[in-house]
Amino acid sequence: MSSLRLLRSGARAIGGADALSGVHSAARRSIIDMSYSAHFMDFKGSSIPSTMRKLVVTTLSPNFREAVRAQTAAVPTPGDADLLVRNRFVGINASDINYSSGRYDPSVKPPFDAGFEGIGEVVGLGLSASSRHTVGDTVAYFGTGGAFAEYTVVPAKESVPVPAARPEFLTLPVSGATAYIALKRLGELAKGQTVLVTAAAGGTGQFAVQFAKRAGCHVIGTCSSDEKAGFLKSIGCDRPINYAAEDLAKTLRKEYPKGVDVVYESVGGGVMEVAVNSLANKGRLIVIGFISGYQSQSGIPPFRGDTLPVKLLQKSASMRGFFLPHFLSDYGEALSSMMQMFAEGKLVCEVDRGDLAPEGRFVGLESVFRAVDYMYAGKNVGKVVVEVAPPSASSSKL
Ligand SMILES: NC(=O)c1ccc[n+]([C@@H]2O[C@H](COP(=O)([O-])OP(=O)(O)OC[C@H]3O[C@@H](n4cnc5c(N)ncnc54)[C@H](OP(=O)(O)O)[C@@H]3O)[C@@H](O)[C@H]2O)c1
């Protein structure tokens, strides 16, 4: 099943709880509850609340605050092959506003649940899911929809066991995996080549920088502040370019007259035009995203592409699109490899929890709104992560 279908089905499954919107009861489920006789819903004598908070897209809009509402709903019940995860942290992605504007699947109408990825503790599960998981496991997941909630139902086969609910592990399911697989499958990186990463200090950019460096490449990274440039240096970027202080096109022309071999491109519009013009002979530009257009109605930034075929032909260069859900067969290997690198101290998984944001750290589900604003203000260094709930009292691991 593709992740897009998973996104849709997940959104529907949890969306069914909308009937209980507005219920503010703090009632707790009884531990002996026959409606859950086929499920394992209780952990070490603890109980799961009847209701929870979640973020729901109620109006299609790229303005996240306009599109999304916080609601109270029933805590969903896992199906036979599902886990019920109590979210500890959720990840913010640039595409959260593409999702809230209905660009992922125009046939899905609001209301539907927001949020792509989370990490937390399994607090309930279906009978089949219990063959691989148990209550108290810590898992990360992405792509099921509905991560922006206190509890999320996740198909067991799409969850990844992680040693602890650390926010660093949440950098890997989307941001890390995108860089790992895109560069591996489409980059054709070779030692000594030059790689340009745009939005290099962000969630996925930080990984592209590190993987290109590991492949023996010379890495250039764009960012918008000296603080980000310092971070890029610290993770091995050879030439951070703070485009707020120096002209990107001029710098590339002057310092890289032969051009760059690979571009990991996330910004689109004028930045993509500069990147195309900077390609070396046989260069590859990987289209990862075009964030500079996401806040507009169309979602697409202006791009002057009429001479693109000429430019590509003259350099035997290519542009290649990459969308993570199309590469799920590479996913398991990518995650285990990155987890191992992290465990060995060979991969920096930088997390930005909003400590320097105007209202401070992103704590509580409703700080997702602030976290999205913060990313779109270009403030983040590393992956933006929101702490939804404190560690569970029943779990000593967390
Ligand atoms: N294809 C896929 O499967 C896939 C998967 C994951 C992510 N992505 C793409 O990867 C890109 C980065 O996503 P992310 O979630 O990792 O975000 P992120 O990089 O953590 O944050 C976004 C960063 O983009 C930069 N930026 C440049 N122009 C911007 C603009 N006009 N508005 C806002 N930010 C701008 C900012 O850094 P500076 O200020 O330093 O430039 C900002 O910090 C996006 O294009 C996203 O769609 C694609």
Residue 360 domain-assigned (yes or no) = yes
180 pocket-lining for ligand 1 (C-beta < 6 Å): no
Residue 87 domain-assigned (yes or no) = yes
Least confident of 207-216, 298-307, 389-398: 389-398
**Distance of CA 359 from the midpoint of ligand 1 (Å):** 22
Residue closest to 381 by CA, chosen among 249, 235, 251: 235
Please say whether the dihedral angle defined by the alpha carbons of residues 181, 186, 188 and 193, taken in this order, is positive or negative.
negative
- Ligand 1 pocket mutation, candidates 185, 198, 204, 265, criterion most atoms within 8 A of CB: 204
Same domain, 181 and 132: no
Residue 340 domain-assigned (yes or no) = no
Whether 278 has a pLDDT exceeding 50, the answer reads yes
Q: What pLDDT, on a 0 to 100 scale, did the predictor assign at position 393?
A: 67
pLDDT over 70, % of the chain: 86
Question: How far is residue 311's CA from residue 276's CA, in Å, rounded to a whole number?
Answer: 8
Same domain, 20 and 159: yes
Helix intervals (H) in the chain: 3-15, 64-67, 96-100, 177-182, 205-214, 226-234, 248-255, 269-277, 308-315, 331-343, 368-376
Number of domains observed in the structure of the chain:
2
Q: Please write the tens of the pLDDT for every residue from 159-217.
A: 999 999 999 999 999 999 999 999 999 999 999 999 999 999 999 999 999 999 999 99
3 pocket-lining for ligand 1 (C-beta < 6 Å): no
Q: What pLDDT, on a 0 to 100 scale, did the predictor assign at position 23?
A: 29
Whether 5 has a pLDDT exceeding 60, the answer reads no
Average pLDDT over every residue of 277-295: 98
22 pocket-lining for ligand 1 (C-beta < 6 Å): no
Whether 149 has a pLDDT exceeding 70, the answer reads yes
Whether 142 has a pLDDT exceeding 80, the answer reads yes
- Cβ neighbours of residue 169 closer than 8 Å, sequence gap 6 or more: 119, 140, 162, 163, 339, 342, 349
Residue closest to 371 by CA, chosen among 349, 387, 392: 387
Question: How far is residue 112's CA from residue 362's CA, in Å, rounded to a whole number?
Answer: 23
User: By residue range, what is the domain housing residue 128?
Assistant: 3-165+350-393
Banded model confidence at residue 246, pLDDT cuts 50, 70, 90: very high
Average pLDDT over every residue of 362-369: 98
Q: What pLDDT, on a 0 to 100 scale, did the predictor assign at position 46?
A: 52
Least confident of 38-42, 144-148, 241-245: 38-42
Banded model confidence at residue 24, pLDDT cuts 50, 70, 90: very low
Running DSSP on this structure, what letter comes out for residue 109?
P
Supply the pTM of this predicted model: 0.90
Question: How far is residue 209's CA from residue 236's CA, in Å, rounded to a whole number?
Answer: 7
Same domain, 114 and 184: no
Burial 181-208 (b: 16+ CB within 10 A, else e): bbbbebbebeeebbbbbbbbbbbbbbbb
Same domain, 129 and 18: yes
Mean pLDDT score across all residues of the chain:
89
For residue 337 the two structure tokens come to 């490899």
For residue 1 the two structure tokens come to 């099943």
Residue 330 domain-assigned (yes or no) = no
Same domain, 10 and 159: yes
Least confident of 141-145, 252-256, 262-266, 311-315: 141-145
Whose alpha carbon is nearest atom 13 of ligand 1? Answer: 94
323 pocket-lining for ligand 1 (C-beta < 6 Å): yes
CATH code of the domain containing 118: 3.90.180.10
| Per-residue 3-state assignment (H helix, E strand, C coil) for 276-288 | HHCEEEEEEEEEC
**Distance of CA 292 from the midpoint of ligand 1 (Å):** 8
Same domain, 178 and 161: no
Average pLDDT over every residue of 242-269: 98
Tokens 């996330």 belong to 266
289 pocket-lining for ligand 1 (C-beta < 6 Å): yes
Contact 269, 292 (CB under 8 A): yes
Residue closest to 387 by CA, chosen among 158, 66, 165, 153: 165
202 pocket-lining for ligand 1 (C-beta < 6 Å): yes
Residue 333 domain-assigned (yes or no) = no
223 pocket-lining for ligand 1 (C-beta < 6 Å): yes
Ligand 1 closest atom vs CA 204: 16
Whose alpha carbon is nearest atom 5 of ligand 1? Answer: 178
Q: What pLDDT, on a 0 to 100 scale, did the predictor assign at position 39?
A: 52
Question: How far is residue 120's CA from residue 136's CA, in Å, rounded to a whole number?
Answer: 9
Task: Identify residue 153 by its one-letter amino acid code.
Answer: V
Residue closest to 398 by CA, chosen among 383, 386, 382, 387: 387
Q: What pLDDT, on a 0 to 100 scale, did the predictor assign at position 4?
A: 32
Q: What pLDDT, on a 0 to 100 scale, did the predictor assign at position 392?
A: 76
CATH code of the domain containing 302: 3.40.50.720
93 pocket-lining for ligand 1 (C-beta < 6 Å): yes
Residue 254 domain-assigned (yes or no) = yes
Whether 30 has a pLDDT exceeding 90, the answer reads no
Whether 1 has a pLDDT exceeding 70, the answer reads no
Q: What pLDDT, on a 0 to 100 scale, did the predictor assign at position 145?
A: 79
Whether 17 has a pLDDT exceeding 50, the answer reads no
Same domain, 187 and 312: yes
Question: How far is residue 227's CA from residue 64's CA, in Å, rounded to a whole number?
Answer: 27
Same domain, 184 and 158: no
Q: What pLDDT, on a 0 to 100 scale, did the predictor assign at position 143?
A: 82
Average pLDDT over every residue of 354-381: 98
Helix axes 269-277, 248-255, angle to 10 degrees: 10
Same domain, 354 and 294: no
Running DSSP on this structure, what letter comes out for residue 249?
H
Residue 114 domain-assigned (yes or no) = yes
291 pocket-lining for ligand 1 (C-beta < 6 Å): yes
Residue 345 domain-assigned (yes or no) = no
Q: Please write the tens of the pLDDT for every residue from 75-131.
A: 999 999 999 999 999 999 999 999 999 999 889 999 999 999 999 999 999 999 999
